[in-house]
Amino acid sequence: MIYNTWKNSIVLFVVFTYLGCGTYSFTGISVSDKTKTFQVNYFQNNSDLIEPGIERDFTIALQDIILNQTNLSLVKSNGDLLYEGEIVEYRISPTTATAQNKADQNRLTISVNVRFINKNDGEKDFEKRFSFFYDYSGSAQLIGSQKTIALKEIFDRITQDIINASLADW
């Protein structure tokens, strides 16, 4: 008899705890029940310094993070959520110098202009610039694995910032 009472209490506790949490997400992302799809248009590279392929890589990175952090489906047109824009800055600049006037450290900066349209809630629409950087040794060349690591770190940060701005209620 006591065993059944404990068992029932635990079941009720678990049920009420689960129901009390509702649709909370640890990422802070909240999407209305009406929103089922999203669309990411190709982000053109309009920066002064053109790095081949980053527009494709960025577009895919944004699609992937939305797919991984939401239950939304990716569509090619008429998405409930629309992400579009362009890469507006790809810049390498020295951040520190040696006594011999050589770069001791360089910084790759990428900025992306994003237009977000929420067809179900126009008040959440925005156009905003997102930017991040990656520092690396002045003696290193930004090629191969060094470039891959830099782009991944920058894209991870920018795409998470875009998700936070468009879908997180923080």
Q: Provide the pLDDT for residue 84.
A: 98
CATH number of 32-167: 3.30.160.150
Q: What is the reported pTM?
A: 0.80
Positions of the chain with pLDDT under 50? 12, 14-26
Q: What is the mean pLDDT of the chain?
A: 86
162's tokens: 């875009």
What residue spans define the domains of the chain?
32-167
